[in-house]
C-alpha cells in the first residue's frame, strides 16, 4: 500500500478496517483456543472504555499522570495480595509476559553481579517446557541457557534434581512455570525452591498464564500446589494480566519478594543531554490505556467475578478432558487450570490437528510429545459439545485414512 495522496472519510476507512478481519480466526464464537481470552461482552466493553479513557496518557510520566502511577501501584498490590507477596514485596506493570520475563532475568543477573557473581558469562537453568521468552531474553543479554528435560514419569513436571545439578557459580536464575504453556502443568515449585536454596540461586516462577487463574481456582477448591511467594525461595514472578486477568493486551506484571531485589530492575542513568529519565521496565513510553484497562477490569470483577469466570474455565477443561478421554485420547500429566494437551495412542496428533482445523477450529499443538493443545476461556463453555463432536469426526477421518493435506501448526 502506498499512503493515499488524499485521506479518506472515517466511515470509509472504518468499513475497510473492520472488513479486513473477515479472514481472521473466528474467536468471537469460541472457535479459537489460543491468542484470545474471551470472557464475554461486558468485559470487552469495559476493556475498551477503560483503555480509551487513558489512551493518550503515558505511563512514562508518573509526575504528569499520578492517576496512572496510582493505578499501577493498585494493580501491583492486588497482584501481590493474590500471590502471597510478603510485606515489602513490590513490582511493576510491563507490556506482556516476554517483557516481564526479560526484566526478571535482567534483575536476577544484575543482583548476582552486585554480589560479585557471574561476572563473566551468566547462565539460567530452565525446564525444557519453559517459555521461549527466556531464550529471547538471554539472547539479548548474552546469557547462556541451560534447558533441562522434564521428568519422564508422565507428569511432565520440571526435574528439580537435574536442574539443581545444572546450576553452577554463574547461574543467576532457575525457573519453574505455573503452569508451563506446552503441557499446562504446574512445576513442583516447592521442590525447586529447596534446590534453589541449597544452591543459593534465585528462583523465578513464570506464572504468565497461571498468575491470575491459579489463586481463584484454589479458592474454588482445586488442589493447586504452592506455586507463588508462599514458597520462600521464590524471588520473582511473572503474571500476565492480558491472559487470565482478562485485561486489554499490553499488560503484565513482574513481581519481586523485596525492594532490594527490585532495585536492580529500573534503568536510571543520566548520561545524556536530556532531563533525567528513570524507567522501571524495558519500555520508554508506556500506554496509559493498558494500565487503566487492567485496573478497571480487576475492580469490575473483584474476587467474586474472577472466581466465577475461572470456575467456568476449570469446569470447561474438565469437560474437555472427560470428552477426549472417552474418545481414546491420553491427556498429558494432570492439568489443573485452563490449558490441556492430549494425544492419541494410535493416530498422530498433527494429522488430527489438520482435520479439526479444516472444521473451523483454530487451536494449537505441542511438539514434545506431539499433542493437540487448547487454552480455554470462559466462552469455550458454550462450545464444548460442538468441539468434541468435531474432534470425534476428525479422529474418524484420520482413522479411515481419509485425512486431507497436512496443516502445519505454527504460532507465526
Ligand X SMILES: *Cc1c(COP(=O)(O)O)cnc(C)c1O
Q: Which residue is nearest to ligand X (CB)?
A: 97
* CB closer to ligand X out of 177 and 363: 177
Strands (E) across 202-299 are located at 203-206, 234-240, 252-256, 267-268, 278-279
In this structure, the strands spanning 267-268 and 278-279 are antiparallel
Cα distances (Å, whole numbers) of residue 181 to 50, 184, 302: 29, 5, 26
Q: Is 184 in the site for ligand X (CB under 6 A)?
A: no
Grid cell in block for residue 16 = 475497510
Q: Using CB under 6 A, count the residues that bind ligand X.
A: 14
Least distance between ligand X and beta carbon 132 (Å): 8
State phi, psi for 146 to the nearest 5 degrees. Answer: -115, 100
Instruction: Point out which span in 111-119, 204-212, 377-385, 390-398 binds ligand X (CB under 6 A).
Output: 204-212
- Whether 88 and 258 have beta carbons less than 8 Å apart is answered as yes
CA–CA dist 77, 354 (Å, integer)? 44
In this structure, the strands spanning 171-177 and 330-331 are unpaired
End-to-end Cα separation, the chain, in angstroms: 22
- The C-alpha angle with vertex 405 and arms to 400 and 408, in degrees rounded to 5, equals 115
* CB closer to ligand X out of 372 and 391: 372
Q: Is 209 in the site for ligand X (CB under 6 A)?
A: yes
Residue among 97, 211, 289, 354 that touches ligand X (CB under 6 A): 97
Q: Is 206 in the site for ligand X (CB under 6 A)?
A: yes
Q: Is 157 in the site for ligand X (CB under 6 A)?
A: no
CA–CA dist 141, 123 (Å, integer)? 10
Residue among 107, 177, 312, 371 that touches ligand X (CB under 6 A): 177
* CB closer to ligand X out of 133 and 391: 133
State phi, psi for 390 to the nearest 5 degrees. Answer: -70, -35
Give the x/- contact pattern for ligand X in 123-152, rule: CB under 6 A.
--------x-x-------------------
Q: Is 187 in the site for ligand X (CB under 6 A)?
A: no
Least distance between ligand X and beta carbon 249 (Å): 8
* CB closer to ligand X out of 181 and 361: 181
Q: Is 240 in the site for ligand X (CB under 6 A)?
A: yes
Instruction: Point out which span in 152-160, 176-184, 358-366, 386-394 binds ligand X (CB under 6 A).
Output: 176-184
Q: How crowded is the C-beta side of 223, counted as CA atoms within 13 Å?
A: 1
CA–CA dist 296, 303 (Å, integer)? 13
* CB closer to ligand X out of 56 and 412: 412
Q: Is 333 in the site for ligand X (CB under 6 A)?
A: no
Instruction: Give the binding site for ligand X (CB under 6 A).
Output: 96-98, 101, 131, 133, 177, 180-181, 206, 208-209, 240, 252
Amino acid at each position: 500500500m502506498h499512503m493515499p495522496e488524499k485521506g479518506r472519510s472515517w466511515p470509509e476507512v472504518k468499513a475497510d478496517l473492520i472488513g479486513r478481519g473477515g479472514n481472521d480466526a473466528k474467536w468471537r464464537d469460541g472457535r479459537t483456543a489460543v491468542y484470545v481470552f474471551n470472557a464475554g461482552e461486558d468485559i470487552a466493553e469495559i476493556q475498551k472504555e477503560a483503555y480509551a479513557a487513558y489512551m493518550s496518557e503515558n505511563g512514562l510520566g508518573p509526575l504528569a499522570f499520578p492517576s496512572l502511577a496510582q493505578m499501577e501501584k493498585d494493580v501491583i498490590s492486588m497482584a501481590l495480595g493474590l500471590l502471597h507477596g510478603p510485606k515489602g514485596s513490590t513490582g511493576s506493570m510491563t507490556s506482556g509476559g516476554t517483557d516481564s520475563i526479560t526484566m526478571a532475568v535482567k534483575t536476577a543477573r544484575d543482583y548476582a553481579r552486585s554480589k560479585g557473581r557471574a561476572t563473566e558469562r551468566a547462565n539460567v537453568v530452565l525446564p525444557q517446557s519453559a517459555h521461549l521468552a527466556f531464550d529471547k531474553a538471554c539472547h539479548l543479554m548474552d546469557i547462556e541457557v541451560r534447558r533441562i528435560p522434564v521428568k519422564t514419569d508422565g507428569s511432565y513436571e520440571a526435574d528439580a534434581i537435574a536442574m539443581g545439578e545444572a546450576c553452577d557459580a554463574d547461574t543467576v536464575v532457575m525457573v519453574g512455570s505455573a503452569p508451563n504453556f506446552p503441557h499446562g502443568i504446574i512445576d513442583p515449585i516447592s521442590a525447586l525452591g529447596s534446590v534453589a536454596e541449597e544452591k543459593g540461586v534465585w528462583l523465578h516462577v513464570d506464572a504468565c498464564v497461571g498468575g491470575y487463574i491459579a489463586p481463584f481456582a484454589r479458592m474454588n477448591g482445586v488442589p493447586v500446589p504452592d506455586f507463588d511467594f508462599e514458597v520462600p525461595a521464590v524471588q520473582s514472578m511473572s503474571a500476565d494480566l492480558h491472559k487470565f486477568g482478562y485485561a486489554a493486551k499490553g499488560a503484565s506484571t513482574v513481581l519481586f519478594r523485596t525492594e532490594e531485589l527490585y532495585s536492580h530492575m529500573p534503568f536510571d542513568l543520566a548520561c545524556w543531554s536530556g532531563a533525567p529519565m528513570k524507567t522501571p521496565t524495558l519500555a520508554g513510553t508506556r500506554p496509559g490505556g493498558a494500565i487503566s484497562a487492567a485496573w478497571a477490569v480487576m475492580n469490575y470483577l473483584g474476587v467474586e467475578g474472577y472466581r466465577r469466570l475461572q470456575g467456568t474455565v476449570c469446569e470447561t477443561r474438565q469437560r474437555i478432558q472427560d470428552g477426549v478421554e472417552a474418545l481414546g485420547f491420553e491427556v498429558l500429566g494432570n492439568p489443573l487450570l485452563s490449558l490441556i494437551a492430549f494425544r492419541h495412542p494410535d493416530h498422530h496428533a498433527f494429522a488430527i490437528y489438520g482435520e479439526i482445523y479444516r472444521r473451523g477450529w483454530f487451536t494449537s499443538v505441542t511438539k514434545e510429545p506431539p499433542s493437540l493443545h487448547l487454552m480455554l476461556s470462559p466462552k469455550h463453555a458454550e462450545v464444548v459439545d460442538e468441539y468434541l463432536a468435531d474432534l470425534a469426526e476428525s479422529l474418524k477421518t484420520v482413522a479411515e485414512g481419509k485425512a486431507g493435506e497436512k496443516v502445519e501448526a505454527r504460532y507465526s
